[in-house]
């Protein structure tokens, strides 16, 4: 059973659109017919007319073009051991493998201008109560810096035990800032939330908990799965999940199916459990993203600035997979860069093939 986003006052039903990352390479079949040979109408009057020689009709020549072939698109970034971005990679240096088999590149280019579709997930559980005002302020600066009106879209989702849509996808930065301003901490009801069996996804009885995995699944499945463009989740949390019904692997797999890259800024109240850096890195890196963990509250703006640079310093490659079986299976992707030492290459770890 998948998680679903509970809409708030400003929320509307989420409308699905066509997915971008697995775009079809169109084609049609064409036939070229060979015209029959023309007879020479000029004949010598002294000669008896000859019967035209019957020729065997030539077999129609047919050009076969593969129809419905899928291109796999992979965004990736490259940094050195000092965490500096490498921006001079060439196509000749790049090899992409699918399940260990080299693939032929169809497209390769530096990509910094693709439209961005982003969901900003804000943890409002108890461990974020005292850091939340500064988190919202830094998030508003990030929205002003990243979102390009008329090109990029974003949504605001708050979560604790369940996810609530505060602002649906929009290119309007003012609406996004307002949606972020309305994100607030609400104290849980007395009596606790951890006793008994697992409550329903949207039952409301988990208020005060932290359902990170459920919220990621909901954002991917209900909001981003069929959106076009480059799809990203920005997760603002301490990474401590207490009430999800889903697991870490479920959240990763849902992001891979929806072709969503997850980034995280890990910050929380040291008086609680601190930040679960390993969990955030495991969640983000499997999708091609990364986790930023500020050393303190004063480093929040710097973390958001680094996140913006990471989004803009990317390459895009596309290839036609040699395995075109529509079996719905998982295909592992590996991008390699030749003749470069100690590079960190970030990209999604694979994709799910279409299923007939």
From first to last of its 356 residues, the chain has per-residue pLDDT tens of: 444 565 443 333 333 333 444 444 333 333 333 444 444 444 444 444 454 454 444 443 333 333 345 899 999 999 998 888 999 999 999 999 999 999 999 999 998 778 899 999 999 988 888 889 888 988 999 999 999 999 999 999 999 999 999 999 999 999 999 999 999 987 776 654 443 333 333 445 556 689 999 999 999 999 999 998 899 999 999 999 999 999 999 999 999 999 999 999 998 877 677 899 999 999 999 999 999 999 876 788 888 988 988 888 899 999 999 999 999 999 999 999 998 888 999 999 999 999 88
Tokens of 166: 């505060």
What structural domains does the chain harbor? Answer: 6-12+114-312 (3.40.50.410), 71-112+315-352 (no CATH)
326 by Cβ neighbours in 10 Å (0-12 / 13-18 / 19+) ranks as exposed
What are residue 229's phi and psi, to 5 degrees? Answer: 90, -165
Angular region, 99: left φ>0, alpha ψ -120 to 50, beta rest = left
Q: SS3 of 180, please?
A: helix
Six-digit token string for 290: 């990364």
The pTM (predicted TM-score) of the whole model is 0.76
Query: CA–CA distance from 348 to each of 87, 161, 177, 279, 338 (Å)?
Result: 19, 28, 30, 17, 19
Q: Which of 274, 309, 315 is nearest to 290 (CA)?
A: 309
256, two tokens: 């891979």
Around 117, how many Cα atoms within 13 Å sit in the side-chain half-sphere? 21
Residues 6+ apart with CB under 8 A from 141: 301, 304
Read off the tokens for 270. Answer: 């040291």
Residue with tokens 């997850």: 262
For the chain, the residue count is 356
Cβ 351 vs Cβ 330: under 8 Å: yes
């Amino acid at each position: 059973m998948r998680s679903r986003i509970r809409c708030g006052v400003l929320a509307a039903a989420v409308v699905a659109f066509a997915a971008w990352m697995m775009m079809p390479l169109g084609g049609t079949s064409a036939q070229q017919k060979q015209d029959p040979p023309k007879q020479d109408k000029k004949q010598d009057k002294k000669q008896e007319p000859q019967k035209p020689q019957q020729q065997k009709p030539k077999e129609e020549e047919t050009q076969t073009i593969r129809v419905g072939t899928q291109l796999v698109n992979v965004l990736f970034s490259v940094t050195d051991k000092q965490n500096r971005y490498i921006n001079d990679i060439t196509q000749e240096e790049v090899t992409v493998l699918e399940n260990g088999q080299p693939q032929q590149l169809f497209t390769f280019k530096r990509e910094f201008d693709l439209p961005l579709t982003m969901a900003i997930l804000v943890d409002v559980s108890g461990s974020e109560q005292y850091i939340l005002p500064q988190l919202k302020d830094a998030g508003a600066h990030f929205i002003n810096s990243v979102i390009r009106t008329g090109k990029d879209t974003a949504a605001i989702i708050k979560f604790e035990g369940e996810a609530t849509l505060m602002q649906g996808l929009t290119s309007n930065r003012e609406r996004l800032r307002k949606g972020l301003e309305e994100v607030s901490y609400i104290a849980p009801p007395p009596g606790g939330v951890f006793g008994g069996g697992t409550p329903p996804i949207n039952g409301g009885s988990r208020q005060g908990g932290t359902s990170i995995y459920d919220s990621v699944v909901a954002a991917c499945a209900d909001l981003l799965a069929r959106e076009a463009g480059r799809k990203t989740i920005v997760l603002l949390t301490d990474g401590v999940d207490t009430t999800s019904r889903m697991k870490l692997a479920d959240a990763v797999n849902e992001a891979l199916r929806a072709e969503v890259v997850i980034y995280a800024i890990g910050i929380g109240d040291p008086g609680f459990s601190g930040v679960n850096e390993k969990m955030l890195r495991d969640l983000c890196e499997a999708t091609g993203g990364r986790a930023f963990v500020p050393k303190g509250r004063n480093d929040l703006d710097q973390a958001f600035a680094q996140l913006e640079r990471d989004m803009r310093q990317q390459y895009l490659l596309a290839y036609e997979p040699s395995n075109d079986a529509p079996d719905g299976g998982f295909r592992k992707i590996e991008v390699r860069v030749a003749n470069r030492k100690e590079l960190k290459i970030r990209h999604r770890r694979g994709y799910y093939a279409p299923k007939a």
